[in-house]
Homo-oligomer: A and B are copies of this chain.
Amino acid sequence: MASVLVASNRGPVSYVLGEDGSLDTRRGGGGLVSGLSAVSSQDSVWVCAALGEGDREAVRRGVGEPGVRMLDIDPDVYADAYNGIANSVLWFLHHHLYDIPREPVYDAEFRRRWESYRAYNRAFAEALAGAADEGAAVLVQDYHLALVPGQLRELRPDLRIAHFTHTPWASPAYLRMLPDDVREELLWGMLGADELGFHTSAWAESFAAGADVAGTGTRVAVHPLGVDAEELRALAYRPAVDERLAELRAEVGDRKTIVRVDRTELSKNILRGLLAYRELLTARPEWRGRVVHLASAYPSRQDLEVYRSYTTSVAALAEEINAEFGTEDWTPVLVSVKDDFTRSLAAYRLADVALVNPVRDGMNLVAKEIPVVSEQGCALVLSREAGAYEELREDALTVNPFDVSETAEALHTALTMPHPERADRTKRLATASTALPPQRWFLNQLEALRGPA
Protein backbone atom coordinates (compact mmCIF):
# COMPACT_ATOMS: atom_id res chain seq x y z
CA MET A 1 0.00 0.00 0.00
CA ALA A 2 1.26 3.46 -0.84
CA SER A 3 0.43 7.10 -0.26
CA VAL A 4 1.85 8.27 -3.61
CA LEU A 5 1.11 6.37 -6.81
CA VAL A 6 2.19 6.98 -10.38
CA ALA A 7 0.62 5.33 -13.40
CA SER A 8 2.10 5.37 -16.88
CA ASN A 9 2.20 3.04 -19.84
CA ARG A 10 5.99 2.71 -19.76
CA GLY A 11 7.55 2.08 -16.37
CA PRO A 12 10.95 2.91 -14.92
CA VAL A 13 12.39 -0.55 -15.61
CA SER A 14 12.13 -3.12 -18.35
CA TYR A 15 13.38 -6.65 -18.73
CA VAL A 16 15.15 -8.36 -21.58
CA LEU A 17 14.85 -12.12 -21.84
CA GLY A 18 18.20 -13.70 -22.72
CA GLU A 19 18.59 -16.81 -24.86
CA ASP A 20 19.61 -18.72 -21.75
CA GLY A 21 16.36 -17.72 -20.03
CA SER A 22 17.97 -15.05 -17.87
CA LEU A 23 16.27 -11.68 -17.30
CA ASP A 24 18.33 -8.57 -17.75
CA THR A 25 17.05 -5.38 -16.06
CA ARG A 26 17.17 -2.04 -17.90
CA ARG A 27 16.53 1.21 -16.09
CA GLY A 28 14.95 4.17 -17.90
CA GLY A 29 15.39 7.87 -17.38
CA GLY A 30 13.21 10.85 -18.06
CA GLY A 31 11.29 13.41 -16.08
CA LEU A 32 9.03 11.02 -14.20
CA VAL A 33 11.82 8.76 -12.93
CA SER A 34 13.72 11.80 -11.80
CA GLY A 35 10.57 13.34 -10.34
CA LEU A 36 9.41 10.33 -8.37
CA SER A 37 12.87 9.97 -6.86
CA ALA A 38 11.89 12.95 -4.71
CA VAL A 39 9.52 10.62 -2.85
CA SER A 40 10.66 7.73 -0.65
CA SER A 41 10.17 4.46 -2.50
CA GLN A 42 8.61 2.93 0.62
CA ASP A 43 5.64 5.25 0.27
CA SER A 44 5.27 5.03 -3.48
CA VAL A 45 4.08 2.60 -6.13
CA TRP A 46 4.56 2.99 -9.88
CA VAL A 47 1.99 1.08 -11.92
CA CYS A 48 2.99 0.40 -15.54
CA ALA A 49 2.34 -2.06 -18.36
CA ALA A 50 4.50 -5.03 -19.25
CA LEU A 51 5.65 -3.97 -22.71
CA GLY A 52 7.56 -6.90 -24.15
CA GLU A 53 8.15 -10.59 -23.68
CA GLY A 54 10.88 -9.87 -21.09
CA ASP A 55 8.50 -7.77 -18.99
CA ARG A 56 5.78 -10.43 -19.22
CA GLU A 57 8.21 -13.11 -18.16
CA ALA A 58 9.32 -11.00 -15.21
CA VAL A 59 5.69 -10.64 -14.09
CA ARG A 60 5.14 -14.41 -14.43
CA ARG A 61 8.24 -15.16 -12.37
CA GLY A 62 7.34 -12.60 -9.77
CA VAL A 63 10.57 -10.73 -10.45
CA GLY A 64 10.28 -7.04 -9.81
CA GLU A 65 11.67 -3.85 -8.36
CA PRO A 66 10.35 -2.58 -5.08
CA GLY A 67 7.72 0.05 -5.69
CA VAL A 68 7.03 -1.02 -9.28
CA ARG A 69 3.86 -2.89 -10.17
CA MET A 70 3.89 -4.18 -13.74
CA LEU A 71 0.59 -5.23 -15.35
CA ASP A 72 0.56 -8.24 -17.65
CA ILE A 73 -2.30 -7.19 -19.90
CA ASP A 74 -3.51 -9.56 -22.62
CA PRO A 75 -1.22 -8.82 -25.63
CA ASP A 76 -4.14 -8.40 -28.07
CA VAL A 77 -5.93 -6.02 -25.75
CA TYR A 78 -2.67 -4.18 -25.21
CA ALA A 79 -1.92 -3.87 -28.95
CA ASP A 80 -5.43 -2.58 -29.69
CA ALA A 81 -5.30 -0.06 -26.86
CA TYR A 82 -1.73 1.14 -27.33
CA ASN A 83 -1.28 1.06 -31.11
CA GLY A 84 -4.92 1.02 -32.19
CA ILE A 85 -6.23 3.84 -30.02
CA ALA A 86 -3.55 5.73 -28.09
CA ASN A 87 -1.02 6.08 -30.90
CA SER A 88 -3.28 5.90 -33.96
CA VAL A 89 -6.26 7.91 -32.74
CA LEU A 90 -5.51 10.06 -29.70
CA TRP A 91 -1.98 10.99 -30.80
CA PHE A 92 -3.27 12.00 -34.24
CA LEU A 93 -6.15 14.00 -32.78
CA HIS A 94 -4.07 15.89 -30.24
CA HIS A 95 -1.36 16.72 -32.81
CA HIS A 96 -3.80 17.50 -35.69
CA LEU A 97 -2.13 14.93 -37.94
CA TYR A 98 -5.09 13.41 -39.75
CA ASP A 99 -5.35 13.56 -43.53
CA ILE A 100 -9.02 14.44 -43.06
CA PRO A 101 -10.40 13.40 -46.48
CA ARG A 102 -9.32 9.81 -45.62
CA GLU A 103 -8.75 9.59 -41.88
CA PRO A 104 -10.07 9.08 -39.20
CA VAL A 105 -12.52 6.26 -39.88
CA TYR A 106 -14.57 5.43 -36.81
CA ASP A 107 -16.05 2.08 -37.74
CA ALA A 108 -16.82 -1.26 -36.08
CA GLU A 109 -13.10 -2.06 -35.84
CA PHE A 110 -12.52 1.21 -34.03
CA ARG A 111 -15.32 0.34 -31.61
CA ARG A 112 -13.63 -2.99 -30.85
CA ARG A 113 -10.33 -1.24 -30.17
CA TRP A 114 -11.98 1.36 -28.03
CA GLU A 115 -13.28 -1.45 -25.79
CA SER A 116 -9.70 -2.67 -25.46
CA TYR A 117 -8.58 0.83 -24.56
CA ARG A 118 -11.26 0.92 -21.88
CA ALA A 119 -10.16 -2.50 -20.55
CA TYR A 120 -6.48 -1.51 -20.55
CA ASN A 121 -7.32 1.66 -18.63
CA ARG A 122 -9.48 -0.39 -16.26
CA ALA A 123 -6.56 -2.71 -15.50
CA PHE A 124 -4.61 0.34 -14.35
CA ALA A 125 -7.55 1.73 -12.35
CA GLU A 126 -8.02 -1.58 -10.55
CA ALA A 127 -4.32 -1.97 -9.78
CA LEU A 128 -4.19 1.58 -8.43
CA ALA A 129 -7.37 1.08 -6.39
CA GLY A 130 -5.87 -2.04 -4.83
CA ALA A 131 -2.55 -0.44 -3.95
CA ALA A 132 -3.57 2.98 -2.63
CA ASP A 133 -3.80 3.97 1.03
CA GLU A 134 -6.89 5.84 2.19
CA GLY A 135 -6.68 9.37 0.73
CA ALA A 136 -3.52 8.60 -1.27
CA ALA A 137 -2.34 10.82 -4.14
CA VAL A 138 -2.38 9.26 -7.62
CA LEU A 139 -0.57 10.86 -10.57
CA VAL A 140 -1.78 9.42 -13.88
CA GLN A 141 0.29 10.08 -16.99
CA ASP A 142 -0.70 10.93 -20.50
CA TYR A 143 -3.13 10.11 -23.28
CA HIS A 144 -2.69 6.35 -22.92
CA LEU A 145 -4.51 6.50 -19.60
CA ALA A 146 -7.15 9.18 -20.14
CA LEU A 147 -9.99 7.05 -18.73
CA VAL A 148 -8.16 6.05 -15.53
CA PRO A 149 -9.17 9.11 -13.45
CA GLY A 150 -12.90 8.54 -14.03
CA GLN A 151 -12.64 4.78 -13.54
CA LEU A 152 -10.54 5.14 -10.41
CA ARG A 153 -12.84 7.80 -8.97
CA GLU A 154 -15.72 5.29 -9.13
CA LEU A 155 -13.68 2.59 -7.39
CA ARG A 156 -12.06 4.85 -4.80
CA PRO A 157 -13.82 8.18 -4.18
CA ASP A 158 -11.40 8.83 -1.30
CA LEU A 159 -8.31 9.24 -3.50
CA ARG A 160 -6.81 12.47 -4.81
CA ILE A 161 -6.21 12.04 -8.51
CA ALA A 162 -4.13 14.09 -10.94
CA HIS A 163 -3.70 13.48 -14.66
CA PHE A 164 -0.91 15.02 -16.71
CA THR A 165 -1.03 15.32 -20.51
CA HIS A 166 2.43 15.32 -22.11
CA THR A 167 1.02 15.94 -25.61
CA PRO A 168 -0.96 18.95 -26.82
CA TRP A 169 -4.73 18.73 -26.46
CA ALA A 170 -6.89 18.63 -29.61
CA SER A 171 -8.62 21.86 -30.63
CA PRO A 172 -12.42 21.70 -30.41
CA ALA A 173 -12.77 21.23 -34.21
CA TYR A 174 -10.57 18.10 -33.98
CA LEU A 175 -12.04 16.69 -30.78
CA ARG A 176 -15.47 16.92 -32.37
CA MET A 177 -14.44 14.33 -34.96
CA LEU A 178 -14.64 11.57 -32.35
CA PRO A 179 -17.96 9.74 -32.08
CA ASP A 180 -20.04 11.67 -29.54
CA ASP A 181 -20.21 8.89 -26.97
CA VAL A 182 -16.47 8.24 -27.23
CA ARG A 183 -15.67 11.92 -26.85
CA GLU A 184 -17.95 12.08 -23.83
CA GLU A 185 -16.32 9.01 -22.28
CA LEU A 186 -12.86 10.48 -22.88
CA LEU A 187 -13.83 13.74 -21.19
CA TRP A 188 -15.60 11.87 -18.39
CA GLY A 189 -12.38 9.94 -17.80
CA MET A 190 -10.27 13.10 -17.68
CA LEU A 191 -12.75 14.99 -15.51
CA GLY A 192 -12.55 12.23 -12.89
CA ALA A 193 -9.30 13.91 -11.83
CA ASP A 194 -9.01 16.61 -9.18
CA GLU A 195 -6.33 18.26 -11.28
CA LEU A 196 -5.57 18.08 -15.00
CA GLY A 197 -2.06 19.20 -15.84
CA PHE A 198 -0.72 20.45 -19.18
CA HIS A 199 2.66 21.77 -20.30
CA THR A 200 1.35 25.15 -21.47
CA SER A 201 -1.67 27.36 -21.15
CA ALA A 202 -2.35 26.84 -24.88
CA TRP A 203 -3.15 23.14 -24.31
CA ALA A 204 -5.01 23.85 -21.07
CA GLU A 205 -7.19 26.36 -22.93
CA SER A 206 -7.71 23.90 -25.76
CA PHE A 207 -8.96 21.35 -23.24
CA ALA A 208 -11.25 23.85 -21.53
CA ALA A 209 -12.66 24.98 -24.89
CA GLY A 210 -13.77 21.41 -25.74
CA ALA A 211 -14.96 20.24 -22.32
CA ASP A 212 -17.50 21.36 -19.77
CA VAL A 213 -15.14 21.90 -16.86
CA ALA A 214 -17.23 24.34 -14.81
CA GLY A 215 -18.94 22.71 -11.86
CA THR A 216 -16.98 19.44 -12.08
CA GLY A 217 -14.56 20.19 -9.26
CA THR A 218 -11.65 19.60 -11.62
CA ARG A 219 -8.85 22.18 -11.73
CA VAL A 220 -7.00 22.70 -15.00
CA ALA A 221 -3.37 23.63 -14.29
CA VAL A 222 -0.16 24.36 -16.16
CA HIS A 223 3.12 22.71 -15.10
CA PRO A 224 5.75 23.31 -17.79
CA LEU A 225 8.31 20.54 -17.41
CA GLY A 226 11.90 21.76 -17.58
CA VAL A 227 15.28 20.10 -17.63
CA ASP A 228 17.72 19.26 -14.85
CA ALA A 229 20.76 21.35 -15.76
CA GLU A 230 23.25 19.52 -13.58
CA GLU A 231 22.25 16.05 -14.71
CA LEU A 232 22.16 17.06 -18.35
CA ARG A 233 25.53 18.80 -18.32
CA ALA A 234 27.10 15.78 -16.60
CA LEU A 235 25.76 13.59 -19.40
CA ALA A 236 26.81 15.98 -22.15
CA TYR A 237 30.38 16.44 -21.00
CA ARG A 238 31.37 12.77 -20.67
CA PRO A 239 34.45 11.59 -22.63
CA ALA A 240 32.25 9.52 -24.96
CA VAL A 241 30.47 12.71 -26.02
CA ASP A 242 33.80 14.53 -26.39
CA GLU A 243 34.87 11.82 -28.86
CA ARG A 244 31.69 12.13 -30.95
CA LEU A 245 32.08 15.89 -30.92
CA ALA A 246 35.61 15.61 -32.28
CA GLU A 247 34.31 13.36 -35.07
CA LEU A 248 31.53 15.81 -35.91
CA ARG A 249 33.99 18.72 -35.93
CA ALA A 250 36.21 16.84 -38.36
CA GLU A 251 33.23 16.21 -40.61
CA VAL A 252 31.89 19.77 -40.53
CA GLY A 253 35.18 21.67 -40.63
CA ASP A 254 34.93 25.39 -40.00
CA ARG A 255 31.39 25.59 -41.36
CA LYS A 256 28.45 26.75 -39.31
CA THR A 257 25.96 24.12 -38.20
CA ILE A 258 22.18 24.00 -38.10
CA VAL A 259 21.20 21.12 -35.82
CA ARG A 260 17.92 19.30 -35.37
CA VAL A 261 17.29 16.17 -33.30
CA ASP A 262 13.94 14.36 -33.54
CA ARG A 263 12.28 11.06 -33.96
CA THR A 264 10.97 10.92 -37.54
CA GLU A 265 7.54 11.81 -36.22
CA LEU A 266 4.82 13.36 -38.39
CA SER A 267 4.44 16.25 -35.95
CA LYS A 268 8.13 17.21 -35.98
CA ASN A 269 7.98 18.91 -39.38
CA ILE A 270 11.30 17.64 -40.69
CA LEU A 271 10.19 18.02 -44.33
CA ARG A 272 9.40 21.73 -44.02
CA GLY A 273 12.66 22.14 -42.09
CA LEU A 274 14.55 20.78 -45.10
CA LEU A 275 12.48 22.93 -47.47
CA ALA A 276 13.38 26.00 -45.39
CA TYR A 277 17.06 25.04 -45.58
CA ARG A 278 16.74 24.69 -49.35
CA GLU A 279 15.09 28.10 -49.56
CA LEU A 280 17.93 29.54 -47.46
CA LEU A 281 20.50 28.18 -49.91
CA THR A 282 18.48 29.54 -52.84
CA ALA A 283 17.59 32.97 -51.47
CA ARG A 284 20.90 33.51 -49.66
CA PRO A 285 23.52 31.87 -51.89
CA GLU A 286 26.28 33.29 -49.68
CA TRP A 287 25.63 30.34 -47.32
CA ARG A 288 26.47 27.72 -49.93
CA GLY A 289 29.53 25.81 -48.75
CA ARG A 290 29.53 27.66 -45.44
CA VAL A 291 26.87 25.78 -43.47
CA VAL A 292 25.94 22.15 -42.76
CA HIS A 293 22.51 20.96 -41.66
CA LEU A 294 22.94 18.09 -39.18
CA ALA A 295 19.57 16.37 -38.98
CA SER A 296 19.19 13.52 -36.52
CA ALA A 297 15.93 11.95 -37.58
CA TYR A 298 15.73 8.43 -36.30
CA PRO A 299 12.90 6.16 -37.46
CA SER A 300 9.77 5.85 -35.36
CA ARG A 301 6.53 3.82 -35.59
CA GLN A 302 7.69 2.06 -38.72
CA ASP A 303 4.78 -0.37 -38.31
CA LEU A 304 2.52 2.40 -39.67
CA GLU A 305 2.58 3.02 -43.44
CA VAL A 306 2.14 6.78 -43.02
CA TYR A 307 5.34 6.91 -40.92
CA ARG A 308 7.30 4.75 -43.36
CA SER A 309 6.27 6.97 -46.22
CA TYR A 310 7.19 10.10 -44.26
CA THR A 311 10.62 8.66 -43.43
CA THR A 312 11.17 7.88 -47.12
CA SER A 313 10.20 11.42 -48.08
CA VAL A 314 12.67 12.90 -45.58
CA ALA A 315 15.54 10.85 -47.01
CA ALA A 316 14.53 11.67 -50.59
CA LEU A 317 14.31 15.41 -49.95
CA ALA A 318 17.71 15.47 -48.20
CA GLU A 319 19.24 13.66 -51.18
CA GLU A 320 17.57 16.11 -53.55
CA ILE A 321 19.09 19.06 -51.71
CA ASN A 322 22.52 17.42 -51.66
CA ALA A 323 22.27 16.71 -55.39
CA GLU A 324 21.19 20.27 -56.15
CA PHE A 325 23.73 22.16 -54.05
CA GLY A 326 26.42 19.72 -52.93
CA THR A 327 30.00 20.01 -54.19
CA GLU A 328 33.00 17.73 -54.04
CA ASP A 329 33.96 18.94 -50.59
CA TRP A 330 30.58 20.03 -49.19
CA THR A 331 27.51 17.93 -48.36
CA PRO A 332 24.77 20.41 -47.39
CA VAL A 333 22.63 17.99 -45.31
CA LEU A 334 23.86 15.15 -43.14
CA VAL A 335 20.93 12.99 -42.03
CA SER A 336 21.59 10.56 -39.21
CA VAL A 337 18.91 7.92 -38.72
CA LYS A 338 20.54 6.21 -35.73
CA ASP A 339 18.96 6.80 -32.34
CA ASP A 340 22.23 7.80 -30.66
CA PHE A 341 21.89 10.10 -27.66
CA THR A 342 25.67 10.47 -27.37
CA ARG A 343 25.87 11.85 -30.91
CA SER A 344 22.83 14.06 -30.23
CA LEU A 345 24.53 15.56 -27.18
CA ALA A 346 27.67 16.20 -29.22
CA ALA A 347 25.52 17.94 -31.85
CA TYR A 348 23.84 19.98 -29.10
CA ARG A 349 27.26 21.22 -27.94
CA LEU A 350 28.40 22.01 -31.46
CA ALA A 351 25.26 23.71 -32.79
CA ASP A 352 25.40 27.32 -33.99
CA VAL A 353 21.71 27.18 -34.77
CA ALA A 354 19.07 24.78 -33.45
CA LEU A 355 15.96 24.18 -35.55
CA VAL A 356 12.87 23.10 -33.58
CA ASN A 357 9.89 23.63 -35.87
CA PRO A 358 7.12 21.12 -34.97
CA VAL A 359 3.62 21.63 -36.38
CA ARG A 360 2.29 20.90 -32.87
CA ASP A 361 4.19 19.57 -29.87
CA GLY A 362 3.33 19.09 -26.20
CA MET A 363 6.56 20.66 -24.95
CA ASN A 364 9.66 19.70 -26.98
CA LEU A 365 12.52 19.16 -24.58
CA VAL A 366 15.19 19.40 -27.31
CA ALA A 367 14.48 23.14 -27.39
CA LYS A 368 15.23 23.25 -23.67
CA GLU A 369 18.22 20.91 -23.67
CA ILE A 370 20.30 22.59 -26.36
CA PRO A 371 20.71 25.98 -24.62
CA VAL A 372 21.77 24.18 -21.43
CA VAL A 373 24.67 22.26 -23.01
CA SER A 374 25.65 24.60 -25.86
CA GLU A 375 29.38 25.44 -25.81
CA GLN A 376 29.48 28.73 -27.71
CA GLY A 377 25.85 29.75 -27.52
CA CYS A 378 23.25 28.57 -29.99
CA ALA A 379 20.54 30.58 -31.74
CA LEU A 380 17.20 28.79 -31.37
CA VAL A 381 14.70 28.84 -34.24
CA LEU A 382 11.49 27.76 -32.53
CA SER A 383 7.99 26.97 -33.74
CA ARG A 384 5.19 28.90 -32.10
CA GLU A 385 3.25 25.60 -32.01
CA ALA A 386 5.71 23.95 -29.61
CA GLY A 387 4.79 23.96 -25.93
CA ALA A 388 8.23 25.39 -25.17
CA TYR A 389 7.26 28.55 -27.10
CA GLU A 390 5.43 29.97 -24.11
CA GLU A 391 8.57 30.08 -21.96
CA LEU A 392 11.25 30.57 -24.63
CA ARG A 393 9.62 32.97 -27.08
CA GLU A 394 11.47 36.06 -25.95
CA ASP A 395 14.97 34.78 -26.68
CA ALA A 396 14.20 32.35 -29.50
CA LEU A 397 13.62 33.31 -33.14
CA THR A 398 10.02 32.20 -33.39
CA VAL A 399 8.35 30.97 -36.58
CA ASN A 400 5.05 29.77 -37.96
CA PRO A 401 5.98 26.14 -38.79
CA PHE A 402 3.96 26.19 -42.04
CA ASP A 403 5.73 29.31 -43.24
CA VAL A 404 8.82 27.92 -44.96
CA SER A 405 9.95 31.36 -46.17
CA GLU A 406 9.79 32.79 -42.67
CA THR A 407 11.71 29.78 -41.35
CA ALA A 408 14.39 30.22 -44.04
CA GLU A 409 14.74 33.87 -43.09
CA ALA A 410 14.93 32.98 -39.38
CA LEU A 411 17.75 30.52 -40.17
CA HIS A 412 19.61 33.36 -41.90
CA THR A 413 19.06 35.69 -38.95
CA ALA A 414 20.22 32.93 -36.59
CA LEU A 415 23.36 32.25 -38.61
CA THR A 416 24.28 35.93 -38.70
CA MET A 417 23.49 36.68 -35.06
CA PRO A 418 26.52 38.39 -33.44
CA HIS A 419 28.27 36.17 -30.95
CA PRO A 420 27.62 38.25 -27.82
CA GLU A 421 23.89 38.41 -28.54
CA ARG A 422 23.76 34.70 -29.19
CA ALA A 423 25.57 33.95 -25.94
CA ASP A 424 23.29 36.25 -23.96
CA ARG A 425 20.16 34.78 -25.43
CA THR A 426 21.42 31.25 -24.83
CA LYS A 427 22.05 32.05 -21.20
CA ARG A 428 18.53 33.36 -20.75
CA LEU A 429 17.10 30.41 -22.67
CA ALA A 430 18.98 28.03 -20.37
CA THR A 431 17.60 29.80 -17.32
CA ALA A 432 14.04 29.57 -18.63
CA SER A 433 14.57 25.93 -19.64
CA THR A 434 15.63 24.88 -16.17
CA ALA A 435 13.04 26.88 -14.24
CA LEU A 436 10.99 23.79 -13.37
CA PRO A 437 13.23 20.72 -13.29
CA PRO A 438 11.59 17.26 -13.06
CA GLN A 439 11.72 16.86 -9.27
CA ARG A 440 10.14 20.28 -8.69
CA TRP A 441 7.65 19.65 -11.52
CA PHE A 442 6.59 16.42 -9.81
CA LEU A 443 6.46 17.85 -6.29
CA ASN A 444 4.43 20.85 -7.43
CA GLN A 445 1.77 18.50 -8.74
CA LEU A 446 1.88 16.40 -5.61
CA GLU A 447 1.56 19.46 -3.37
CA ALA A 448 -1.30 20.85 -5.46
CA LEU A 449 -3.05 17.51 -5.09
CA ARG A 450 -2.56 17.32 -1.33
CA GLY A 451 -3.48 20.93 -0.71
CA PRO A 452 -7.03 21.95 0.16
CA ALA A 453 -9.33 20.34 -2.44
Q: Are A100 and B96 in contact (CB under 8 A)?
A: yes
Provide the residues of chain B in CB contact with A404, threshold 8 Å.
105-107
Q: Are A402 and B266 in contact (CB under 8 A)?
A: no
A2 lies within 8 A of chain B by Cβ: no
Stretch at the interface among A173-181, A192-200, A229-237: A173-181
Partner of A402, one of B96, B177, B279, B282: B177
A299 lies within 8 A of chain B by Cβ: no
A214 lies within 8 A of chain B by Cβ: no
Known: A405-B106, A405-B108. A310 touches B101 (CB 8 A): yes
Closest residue of B by beta carbon distance from A278: B107
Partner of A400, one of B172, B179, B283: B179
Q: Are A405 and B283 in contact (CB under 8 A)?
A: no
Chain A 275-294 interface residues, beta-carbon cutoff 8 Å to B: 275, 279, 282-283
Q: Are B107 and A405 in contact (CB under 8 A)?
A: yes
Q: Are B107 and A359 in contact (CB under 8 A)?
A: no
Q: Are B402 and A108 in contact (CB under 8 A)?
A: no
Q: How distant is A360 from chain B, measured CB to nearest CB, in Å?
A: 8
Provide the residues of chain B in CB contact with A178, threshold 8 Å.
402
Partner of A171, one of B106, B171, B400: B171
Q: Are A108 and B179 in contact (CB under 8 A)?
A: no
Closest residue of B by beta carbon distance from A270: B101
A12 lies within 8 A of chain B by Cβ: no
Provide the residues of chain B in CB contact with A319, threshold 8 Å.
none
Provide the residues of chain B in CB contact with A110, threshold 8 Å.
405
Q: Complex Cα distance A403/B104, Å?
A: 9
Q: Are B179 and A405 in contact (CB under 8 A)?
A: yes
A422 lies within 8 A of chain B by Cβ: no
Q: Complex Cα distance A275/B179, Å?
A: 16
Partner of A108, one of B102, B105, B279: B279
A97 lies within 8 A of chain B by Cβ: yes
Partner of A359, one of B96, B101, B106, B266: B101
Q: How distant is A278 from chain B, measured CB to nearest CB, in Å?
A: 9
Provide the residues of chain B in CB contact with A98, threshold 8 Å.
100
Q: Complex Cα distance A405/B114, Å?
A: 13
Closest residue of B by beta carbon distance from A272: B105
Q: Are B108 and A282 in contact (CB under 8 A)?
A: yes
Q: How distant is A70 from chain B, measured CB to nearest CB, in Å?
A: 34
Q: Are B266 and A107 in contact (CB under 8 A)?
A: no
Q: Are B179 and A96 in contact (CB under 8 A)?
A: no
- What are some 26 contacts across the A-B interface (CB < 8 A)? A96-B100, A96-B173, A98-B100, A99-B99, A99-B100, A101-B267, A101-B271, A101-B310, A102-B310, A105-B402, A106-B402, A106-B404, A106-B405, A107-B275, A107-B279, A107-B405, A108-B405, A111-B405, A173-B173, A177-B400, A177-B402, A178-B402, A179-B400, A179-B402, A180-B400, A180-B403
Known: A96-B100, A102-B313, A106-B406. 8 other contacts (CB 8 A): A96-B173, A102-B271, A105-B275, A105-B402, A106-B404, A107-B405, A110-B405, A179-B405
